[in-house]
């Protein structure tokens, strides 16, 4: 699929300003680890937002090869992309039904809606598809404290009573979302679990799912029947303040477009950041249009008042700091300490990867790894690697 899909190949390598490499072996290893941590529950996979920016097709194929049989997306079009890569999987769509016309997407892809409201319930009952032996298969999202999407506890109880009589819907899965799972001792976790368990009792024939990536590491009762790892699959640390057990999956490198010497007292980029020494500047062909956030700038953005250091690159075994403001298509790095002849135009500087973890870059940008990964642009040349070989 990867070789024949221009979208997944990304930009032509002869002219691309940057390169995104996705290590499918690391992805598979992360899934195996999370599945082990989820035992005795089944580990599904959250692959919304184009598999967190890394490409739905290759990611889903790699996860299917590891035994993953349940996937979660946000929107039905994402579900159709998963279906092409996983013909036999159960595919759940988080964001529910916007109108009766949406039901045709679910029917086409045999997608399972997550019903979040009275409107969703009514639309699916009237327009949903029937399985071989069950009417209108679906999942139900129940609200336990996040107050985002989901049926209120009162509405869930009414539905349970009504559906027991009519059998109009066939809930396969009851789910809710933990708000504070990445803070293991937060009291909200236990409150949500207890509320969720009480609501699951209303639907004894359905499986239950509460734990996201961080929730898996709460263990015990939080695991329920199905876990839903997302960002941890892609290499981000699922629990704040702990050593990251996940392998890095995505690496981003930017091509050097120009090397230039700027004397002490000179300035660089928008806002004219002054230099306090003679500086060798590497101008790289990646910027915020590619998802490399402007807030990672070395100077000239308000975040630097709170977090003094901006982002770094990595090349020739050394970290090199971003200079001045990141711009739309270009980012500057101070490579003086590498020496005058260490680099040349066309070399690549690592922006994120084994030497610069995604969570570290996210912290420098004042954001989270989710935002960085899903913002990765399609101007990168894309490499998918398995068994040491590009596929």
Residue 369 and residue 213 in contact, taking contact as beta carbons nearer than 8 Å:
no
Catalytic residue among 31, 48, 52, 288: 48
pLDDT bucket at 14, cuts 50 / 70 / 90: confident
**φ and ψ at 289, to 5 degrees?**
-70, -20
Cα–Cα nearest to 137, from 166, 114, 164: 114
The question of whether 70 is a catalytic residue gets the answer no
Q: Which residues pair with 314 in a beta bridge?
A: 319, 350
For residue 328, say whether it is annotated as part of any ligand binding site. yes
Gap between the Cα atoms of 351 and 370, Å rounded: 16
Catalytic residue among 52, 70, 92, 270: 270
Give the pLDDT mean for 49-68. 97
Give the pLDDT mean for 198-221. 97
Residue 145 and residue 188 in contact, taking contact as beta carbons nearer than 8 Å:
yes
Question: What's the pTM value of the predicted model, to 2 decimals?
Answer: 0.94
Q: Across all residues in the chain, what is the average pLDDT? A: 94
As given in the structure block, the two tokens for residue 99 are 């109108």
Is residue 320 within a helix (H) or strand (E), and if so which, with residue range? Answer: strand 318-323
Q: What structural domains does the chain harbor?
A: 24-234 (3.20.20.10), 250-390 (2.40.37.10)
- Render pLDDT for 108-146 as a digit per residue (tens, 0 to 9): 999 999 999 999 999 999 999 998 889 999 999 999 999
pLDDT score of 389 more than 90: no
Q: Which residue has the tokens 């699951």?
A: 200
The question of whether 370 is a catalytic residue gets the answer no
Residue 6 has a pLDDT of: 44
Please list, residue by residue across 65-93, b when 16 or more beta carbons sit within 10 angstroms of its beta carbon and e when fewer do. Answer: eeebebbbbebbebbbbbbebbeebbbbb
For residue 277, say whether it is annotated as part of any ligand binding site. no
pLDDT bucket at 3, cuts 50 / 70 / 90: very low
């Amino acid at each position: 699929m990867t070789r024949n899909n221009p979208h997944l190949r990304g930009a032509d390598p002869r002219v691309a300003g940057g390169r995104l490499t996705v290590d499918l072996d690391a992805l598979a290893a992360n899934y195996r680890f999370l599945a082990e941590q989820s035992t005795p529950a089944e580990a599904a996979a959250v692959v919304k937002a184009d598999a967190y920016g890394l490409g739905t097709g290759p990611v889903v194929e790699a996860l299917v090869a590891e035994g993953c049989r349940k996937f979660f997306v946000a929107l039905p079009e994402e579900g159709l992309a998963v279906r092409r890569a996983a013909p036999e999987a159960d595919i759940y769509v988080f964001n529910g039904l916007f109108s009766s016309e949406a039901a045709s997407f679910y029917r086409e892809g045999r997608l399972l809606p997550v019903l979040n409201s009275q409107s969703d319930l009514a639309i699916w009952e009237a327009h949903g598809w029937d399985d071989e032996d069950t009417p209108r298969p679906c999942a139900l999202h129940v609200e336990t404290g996040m107050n985002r999407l989901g049926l209120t506890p009162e509405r869930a109880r009414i539905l349970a009573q009504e559906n027991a009589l009519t059998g109009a819907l066939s809930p396969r899965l009851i789910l809710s979302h933990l708000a504070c799972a990445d803070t293991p001792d937060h009291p909200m976790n236990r409150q949500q679990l207890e509320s969720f368990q009480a609501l699951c009792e209303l639907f004894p024939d359905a499986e239950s799912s509460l734990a996201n990536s961080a929730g898996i590491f709460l263990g015990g009762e939080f695991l329920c029947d199905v876990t839903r790892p997302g960002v941890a699959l892609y290499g981000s640390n699922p629990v704040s303040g702990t050593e990251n057990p996940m392998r890095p999956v995505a690496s981003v490198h930017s091509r050097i477009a120009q090397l230039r010497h700027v004397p002490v007292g000179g300035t660089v980029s928008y806002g004219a950041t002054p230099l306090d020494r003679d500086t060798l500047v590497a101008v790289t062909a990646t910027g915020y249009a590619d998802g490399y956030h402007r807030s990672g700038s070395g100077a000239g953005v308000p975040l630097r008042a709170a977090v003094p250091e901006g982002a770094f690159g990595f090349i020739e075994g050394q970290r090199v700091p971003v200079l001045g403001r990141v711009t739309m298509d270009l980012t500057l790095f101070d490579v003086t300490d590498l020496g005058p002849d260490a680099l040349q135009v066309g070399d690549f500087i690592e922006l994120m990867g084994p030497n610069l973890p995604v969570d570290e870059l996210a912290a420098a940008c004042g954001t989270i790894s989710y935002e960085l990964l899903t913002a990765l642009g399609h101007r990168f040349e894309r490499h998918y690697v398995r068994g040491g070989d590009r596929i």
